[in-house]
Amino acid sequence: MKKLICLMAFFLFPLSLAWSFQIDLTSAQIQEAIDCGKINNGNEYTDVMKEWRVESNNNKVGFIIVDSSFYYLASFSYLQSKKYQELLPKEIKELISRSKNEVFFNIYVYGNSIDFAEDYHVVLKYKDKIIQPKTKKNESYASTSGYWPNDPAYSAMLNYGFLFRKQDSKSKKETMIFNPDDTITLTIIPPNDNEINIEVDLSAMR
C-alpha cells in the first residue's frame, strides 16, 4: 500500500497538493524518499523527478532543479536501483547532511558563446531580503544546446546554494534566513543584460 501511495503521489496528484518542503527528515521520510526512487526505476528519470523541476517561460532559462534532502535521496536511490544496488547508510547520511541548512538550485541557461555563463550571478529574494549565495558554480564551458546551430546555440548549468538558516557558534541558537516552505524568487543576472526573475514555490515539493 505504501508503494502504491508513493507512485500515486509522483504521477497523479497535482503539485499544489504535494508534501511541504522537508528540511529535517524523519526516519520514515528518509525511507519514503528511498522507496520512491526505488519503485519508480522503470520510469523515465525526468518524469520521476518532475516534482522538483520548475519550468521557465524565459527563452534564456530552460528550467530549474531544486535540490532538497528528499530529492537527493529519491534521485540517488533511483540511480542505484537501476544498477540493482542499494544506498549504503554512509551514503544516506552524506546526502542528508549536504542540504541540512542549505537549498541548492541547478539552473539551466542558454546563450550564444561557449563561455557565456562564466560571469552569471544569482541571488535569492524573499520578502524584503536579498540573499547572496553561500556557494556558487558556473560552468566555464557550455555544451551545445538542442537548438544548435541556431540560437541559442549553447546551454550551461549554474549551481547555487543558499543558507535558509544559520546557527550561532556560541549560543547554538538557530535563526531562519528564509522560509524553505514558502515561495521565493531566484534572480538570474547575466552580464550586460536584464535580470531574469523566476518564482519558485518550495511548498509544492518535498
Angle at 137 between CA 133 and CA 82, to 5 degrees: 110
**Cα dihedral across residues 33, 34, 35, 41: positive or negative:** positive
Q: What is the pLDDT of residues 109-139, one digit of tens each?
A: 999 999 999 999 999 999 999 999 999 999 9
The pTM of this model reads 0.81
* 175 closest CA partner among 163, 186, 183, 184: 163
CA distances from 52 to 12, 64, 171 (A): 15, 8, 34
Q: Which residues 6+ apart lie within 8 Å of 42 measured at CB?
A: none
Q: Distance (Å, rounded) from C-alpha 153 to C-alpha 158? A: 17
Q: Is 203 helix (H, G, I), strand (E, B) or coil?
A: helix
Q: Are 186 and 178 in contact (CB under 8 A)?
A: no
Summarised one tens digit per residue, pLDDT across range 150-169 is: 999 999 999 999 999 887 77
Contact 21, 206 (CB under 8 A): yes
- The structural domains of the chain, with segments of one domain joined by +, span 2-13+22-204
